[in-house]
Amino acid sequence: MTDPADLRQRILARIQSDGPLTIAAYMADALYDQRAGYYATKDPIGAGGDFVTAPEISQMFGELIGLWCLSTWLEMGAPKSLRLIELGPGRGSLMADALRAARVRDDFLAALKVTLVEVSPALQAAQAETLSSAPVVVEYAPELPTTGAEPAIIIANEFLDCLPIRQFVKLEGAWRERLVGQHPEDPGALAFVFDPAPAAAPDLALIPSHLVDADEGTLVEVRPADARIAEACAARLNRHGGRAVFIDYGPAEATGGDTLQAVRAHEKVSPLADPGQADLTARVDFGAFARAAIAAGLDVAGPKEQGQWLVDLGVQHRAIALMAAEEDKKHAIATQVFRLTDASQMGALFKAMCLSPAGSPPPPGF
Ligand code: SAH
């Protein structure tokens, strides 16, 4: 009998009846299964969780994004009503810090309505607590809301990296999908296998054109959600105006290679060992996401390395002001700036990219 709480057993039962799964289907089960999926059951972020993100490293990250939103709103002509949408808000820290920084303009706060898009019940609870005294009304939506009467600013930090990917490998001259199947020697375990059939035309079309003729053995990752997210942003921004900023880790243009990783308690673990127990992410291919956004009818600025972006938004000035206010935190604040901006830390691998309605002026900070 399959134990419904045992996600690996259920995935194995599904493979036995339907055959190997795409990595995207496996990730969807491992991350989002209602009963045992990672985001359904865990509060993963922070020192006691599995990984740490920029807003958890420093309040400066969310504050600068709040000021970026304020300048974007001013540049839009300070509309009376603005929807601020955050995708994957984690513990709510980025939003809380952004709203605190936004207090410098009462009319901006008065214009704001906040929508959070979050799948995890545990993180929704954390967000409610962090934002309990927020100076604005906070609503939830299951997906990026494409309808609505007002312009929107959409922000997303480390959201794209957890959306399911698919992998294809060039083998014997043909692209074959890398799948998740039953381990050949250990029937209770999962293993990567290859689809014996070459990829069909609609799947081949997902492979970026500059990689289609890559050498034997090349592995390419594609992100089916890119187009969906880009189209949802376009539907909202091209109708009512606004901008979206996505910050994440990954190259400006992918060159191939397996980047799927599982992290548990700050250590890398096997992505197939314990589905639902570890966070699964893969590097964002900003080149592919930019092409999806352009195809959806948006303008793209960036990607710009996070380090330079934060410096241009004034992270050093903010750090100096915080240090002056709290002498004993000088060292801690300097360490935070280093972690967020230095190329050896998050400064170069992480990047920010801005999507805007077609024909918009360049966005602030890019
Ligand atoms: N932005 C936060 C959290 C990053 S972790 C921070 O920087 O700290 C990824 C976040 O995206 C989590 O809040 C997770 O629950 C959420 N998430 C993942 N997939 C999602 C999906 N398909 N829809 C909505 N939220 C999702």
What percentage of the chain exceeds 70 in pLDDT? Answer: 99
User: Among 87, 154, 137, which residue's Cα sits nearest to residue 116?
Assistant: 87
Q: What is the pLDDT of residue 31?
A: 95
Using the mean position of ligand 1's atoms as its centre, give its distance from the Cα of residue 82 in Å.
22
Give the residue, by CA position, lying nearest to ligand 1 atom 24: 118
Strand duo 174-182 + 21-22: pairing: antiparallel
Question: Which pLDDT score is estimated for 145?
Answer: 87
pLDDT at 5: 66
Phi, psi values for residue 266, rounded to 5°: 65, 15
Torsion from C-alpha of 189, 193, 195, 199, nearest 10 degrees: 120
Q: Is 162 in the pocket of ligand 1 (CB under 6 A)?
A: yes
DSSP for 250-317, please give it.
S-SS-------EEEETTEEE-TTTSTTTSEEE----HHHHHHHHHHTTEEEEEEEEHHHHHHHHTHHH
Three-class secondary structure of residue 26 per DSSP: helix
Task: Please give the structure tokens belonging to residue 304.
Answer: 């710009």
Cα distances from 49 to residues 43, 117, 176, 219, 261, in angstroms, run: 7, 21, 36, 31, 16
120 lines ligand 1 (CB under 6 A): yes
C-alpha–C-alpha distance, residues 303 and 261, integer Å: 22
319/337 Cα distance (integer angstroms): 7
Q: H or E element: which one contains 93?
A: helix 93-102
Residue 230's pLDDT is 98
Q: Copy the structure tokens of residue 177.
A: 């999908």
Tell me: the pLDDT tens digits for 313-325?
999 999 999 999 9
Average pLDDT over residues 110-135: 94
Confidence of residue 58 (pLDDT cuts 50, 70, 90): very high
Task: State the chain's mean pLDDT as an integer.
Answer: 95
Binned at pLDDT 50, 70 and 90, residue 1 comes out as low
Please tell me the predicted confidence (pLDDT) of residue 254: 96
Span 12-39, average pLDDT = 95
pLDDT score of 41? 81
Is 278 a residue whose pLDDT tops 90? Answer: yes
For ligand 1, say whether the CB of 123 is within 6 Å of any of its atoms.
yes
CA of 19 to the centre of ligand 1 (A): 29
Element (H, E) at 342: none
pLDDT tens digits, one per residue of 71-114: 999 999 999 999 999 999 999 999 999 999 999 999 999 999 99
What is the C-alpha to C-alpha distance for residues 165 and 281, in angstroms, rounded to an integer? 9
Residue nearest to atom 15 of ligand 1 (CA): 120
What's the 229 CA to ligand 1 centre distance in angstroms? 14
Averaged pLDDT for residues 59-78: 97
What pLDDT band is residue 4 in, cutting at 50, 70 and 90? Answer: low
Q: Is the pLDDT of residue 151 over 90?
A: yes
The Cα 7–Cα 22 span in angstroms is 16
CA of 323 to the centre of ligand 1 (A): 31
pLDDT band at 2 (very low <50, low <70, confident <90, very high): low
| Ligand 1 center–CA 49 separation, angstroms | 14
Q: What is the predicted pLDDT for the residue at 42?
A: 80
pLDDT of residue 249 exceeding 80, the answer is yes
Atom in ligand 1 nearest the alpha carbon of residue 45: 8
* pLDDT tens, position by position, 185-225: 999 999 999 999 999 999 999 999 999 999 999 999 999 99
**pLDDT recorded at residue 50:** 87
pLDDT class of 147 with cuts at 50, 70, 90: confident
Please give the C-alpha separations between residue 156 and each of 23, 41, 307, 320, in angstroms, as whole numbers: 23, 22, 17, 27
pLDDT score at 78: 97
* Contact between residue 168 and residue 208 where contact means Cβ atoms under 8 Å apart: no
pTM over cut 0.95: yes
Whether ligand 1 lies within 6 angstroms of the CB of 56 is answered as: yes
Both tokens of residue 125?
A: 């609870």
Q: d(Cα 318, Cα 65) in Å, to the nearest integer?
A: 12
The whole-number average pLDDT for the span 258-287 is 95
CA 344 to chain centre: 21
pLDDT of residue 355: 98
Tokens coding 135:
């100076």
